[in-house]
Amino acid sequence: MRVFILRVVSLLALASSSLGVKLYTAPDQLSTKEYDFIIAGGGTAGCVLASRLSENPDVSVLLVEAGGDHREVFNSIVPFLAGNLVNSAVDWNLTTVPQPGFADRSILFQRGHVLGGSSSVNYMAYNRASNDFYNSWAKGIGDDRWSWKSLEPFYKRHHKLAEPADGHDCSDQVVRDAHGDGPVEVSVLNYPVPIDDMVMRVSGEMGGRFSWNQDINAGDSLGFTYTQSSIGNGKRSSSATAYLDPLFESNRKNLDILINTHVTKLVQAGTSKGKPEFKTVELAQPKPGQLLTPDDDSTAGTTDDGKRYKFHAKKEVILSTGVIGTPKILQLSGIGPKDVLQKLDIETIVEIPDVGKNLTDHPMSVMYWNINQESQFDTLLRDPAQFAAQIQHWQETHKGIMAGGVSGTQSYMRLPESHPIFAEISDPSSGPHSGHTELLFGEGMIPITNIPMPDSGNYVYALAVLTSPTSRGDMQISSSDTFAAPKINPNYLATEFDRAAMVQAMRDTFTFLSHEAFKNYIDAPYGSLVNLTTDEELLKYTADHGVTINHGIGTAKMSPYGAEWGVVDPDLKVKEVIGVRVVDASVFVSYDSIDFTKPVLGWVDGLLTRW
């Protein structure tokens, strides 16, 4: 009898596991070592690629992800809990090298380590770049396939508007025509709070540089708007939920997903057309729970059991390992700047100096104001019983404060045309419809900087972000050990323009929040902010408390065919190499401002129609 029950149970297990795409947790569970496409990195771009490439039943695809299954991560699913994902099992736990622009502090450089990648851990603001951004990109690359007009259909194809969790009518908060019918769900104001409508009202009254814009995703990205968030039915909508989840219940047989496994490097296997061919990937699994060894030779290797596996791609290897992971794999494979590789005794097989260079990121100043009415957010964070009740409410209804994203409103702004900095430097933005800075507003003292949270009081926050930085940094591997942490140097606020624009963003925040309409709501700036007046004082505040809004790009930059600079050509193929493409945010040409999740999705979907 007992044997019989066990049999039934195991048959059931077999039956359910044979339906749909499966997750494998170790390389030796796979029945083949050869696929048409091998995608490194199951992140924002990687999940879209895996899903769309395997739509063709004649093509076999392997997706390899270092992190685990997104479906088990509660803090990723519940929008309000995104902040808890820092330094967790789904974070790479990276930090920058000390930043002179940030008072020599090393800061967190968060990246998703899970299926869905950074789209499983980000703050869900759904922003396309402006039309100027794409058009200047297309022009710079000399390839019209990257223009706004060429890419717009793919934005519509990858997402659709979802109704807000609280059920309100959002017709006048978006432009419906700018949205499509794809799988990523996008919504506005899932849990409205008083400051949201106040911000939009004041914007309407102030006009000019503070103008109101019904939908910043419709081409012109300037102005104040209700934030669109990748949230549907009160849950995070990521590239994994949108593009992979449906496959777990489908009949698709030609896609294998391998998790908890690192691509350690690409291996050259011969040459083709006189160029080295890199269609073999090497895989390894670190011991769980201790991913990156400190940057210190004495402990390097402790996470490594030494076992390596080789898999072969018949058609192509696609790197979708992100702004740090992609240049890291290229450098470990001997594709990169000779000086960096030589120091680590790695043979330079293909010298591409820009691999890891031109890292560009958006620094952010976090500011708080006291308000004279209750902020639900602050109350909630101080009261565990209320917090638990809200979690339960979310579990039962997928509604309430837990269903809401971070800022209800945001804006992109340009520096005044008369700003004295333009006497010294020409406009670094991609055009008149692109912002130099971004402001975001919300309720409560969100704990995202080093300012300790007080035990009492009610607050709103404002985030002042530099979105057209001229500073460039880099990333370099620190060891030939694949599990060692790389050196990440975003070089925040290193130029005069960047400092001037950051100061302008902070001053704009003060100007905006001192509008009459906020009089009965906002009291005074919190903490040391109250006494800041000079540019130097504002910059000192940012240096002491600044963080990143996590928009790193540019480390495997696209450039025209045959260009001396850059890493990939306009088809995303790695220059001077056969068999490798990069499809992720590391290829971005860093003109200016944007949140980068959705642009990646748009481009990936666009790219596939040309493959």
Ligand X SMILES: *[C@@H]1O[C@H](CO)[C@@H](O)[C@H](O)[C@H]1NC(C)=O
Using an 8 Å Cβ cutoff, are 592 and 430 in contact?
yes
Task: Identify residues 127-156 at the interface with ligand FAD (CB under 6 A).
Answer: 127
Task: Identify residues 523-552 at the interface with ligand X (CB under 6 A).
Answer: 527-528, 530-531
Task: Identify residues 353-412 at the interface with ligand X (CB under 6 A).
Answer: 354, 357-358
Q: Does 567 bind ligand FAD (CB under 6 A)?
A: no
Which of 170, 291, 366, 601 forms a contact with ligand X (CB under 6 A)? 291
Task: Identify residues 241-300 at the interface with ligand FAD (CB under 6 A).
Answer: 262-263
Q: How many CB atoms lie within 10 A of CB 604?
A: 26
| CB-based burial, 331-344: b 16+ in 10 Å, e otherwise | bbbbbbbeebbeee
Q: Where are the alpha helices (DSSP H) in 486-571?
A: 496-513, 535-545
Annotated ligand binding at 323? The verdict is no
Between 561 and 565, CB nearer to ligand X: 565
Total binding residues for ligand X by CB under 6 A? 17
> Which of 453, 447, 398, 401 lies closest to 86 in space, CA to CA?
447
Q: Which does 595 bind (CB under 5 to 8 A by kind): ligand X, ligand FAD, none?
A: ligand FAD
Task: Identify residues 358-397 at the interface with ligand FAD (CB under 6 A).
Answer: none
Residue 291 beta carbon to ligand X: minimum distance, rounded to whole angstroms: 3
Between 430 and 458, CB nearer to ligand FAD: 430
Annotated ligand binding at 568? The verdict is no
Residue 110 beta carbon to ligand FAD: minimum distance, rounded to whole angstroms: 4
Between 138 and 587, CB nearer to ligand FAD: 587
CA distances from 56 to 36, 49, 53, 124, 492 (A): 11, 12, 6, 30, 44
Torsion over CA of 489, 38, 585 and 136, rounded to 10 degrees?
130
Using an 8 Å Cβ cutoff, are 306 and 283 in contact?
no
Using an 8 Å Cβ cutoff, are 185 and 601 in contact?
no
The 527-556 site mask, x for binding ligand FAD (CB under 6 A), equals: -----------------------xx-----
> What amino acid is encoded at 453 in this protein?
M
Q: Which does 40 bind (CB under 5 to 8 A by kind): ligand FAD, ligand X, none?
A: ligand FAD
Q: Give strand ranges (E) for 421-565.
A: 437-443, 459-466, 473-476, 487-489, 522-525, 547-548
| CB-based burial, 230-241: b 16+ in 10 Å, e otherwise | bbbebbbbbbbb
Residue 188 beta carbon to ligand X: minimum distance, rounded to whole angstroms: 33
The 62-91 site mask, x for binding ligand FAD (CB under 6 A), equals: --xxxx------------------------
Window contacting ligand X (CB under 6 A); options: 350-358, 402-410, 419-427, 430-438: 350-358
SS (H, E, C) 69-119: CHHHCHHHHCHHHHHHHCCCCCECCCECCCEHHHCCECCECCCECECCHHH
Q: How many CB atoms lie within 10 A of CB 406?
A: 22
**Which parts of this chain interact with ligand FAD (CB under 6 A)?**
40-46, 64-67, 110-113, 117-119, 121-125, 127, 262-263, 320-322, 325, 329, 550-551, 584-585, 595-598, 600
**Which parts of this chain interact with ligand X (CB under 6 A)?**
87-89, 91, 93, 113, 289, 291, 354, 357-358, 472, 527-528, 530-531, 565
